[in-house]
Amino acid sequence: MRMDEFIVTGIEIDLRMNVLRLNVGAMLDDLEHVVETGCSGSVDIGAGGRLLGVDLGESYAPVMPPEPGTEAMARSAVVEVTAIRDRASRQILSIVIPRRGEGYEITYPSGNQ
């Protein structure tokens, strides 16, 4: 079984909410046409809190590769994420993930590194 891969087209940092938003589709200007759903995912974190990617089960959103020579330091943590979807097509437009949680903290690309 092949896992589908998202293409991350942008990353937004919301310091007030302490989350990252990974844009993986064309955002809609009209918020009436989007729906937010919570789901369980897995974040892959590299050395220094570098966000490597987010796994949503059948789909993966790679963010950045690990720094050379640090591949063995990568770890994963289960996290509750919010998927923002197009109401009509149900296509995921963005993935919102907390910058820290039990067993992980994202320090790059969130500006702390």
48 in helix, strand or coil? helix
pLDDT in tens, 52-85: 999 998 899 999 999 999 999 999 999 999 999 9
pTM: 0.88
Q: What is the pLDDT of residue 57?
A: 87
Listed range (18-22, 29-33, 56-60, 103-107) with the worst mean pLDDT: 29-33
d(CA 97, CA 105): 11
In the chain, where does DSSP find H-type helix? none
What number is the average pLDDT over the span 21-42?
A: 84
88 in helix, strand or coil? coil
CA count, 13 A, side-chain hemisphere, 21:
16
CB atoms within 10 A of CB 36: 11
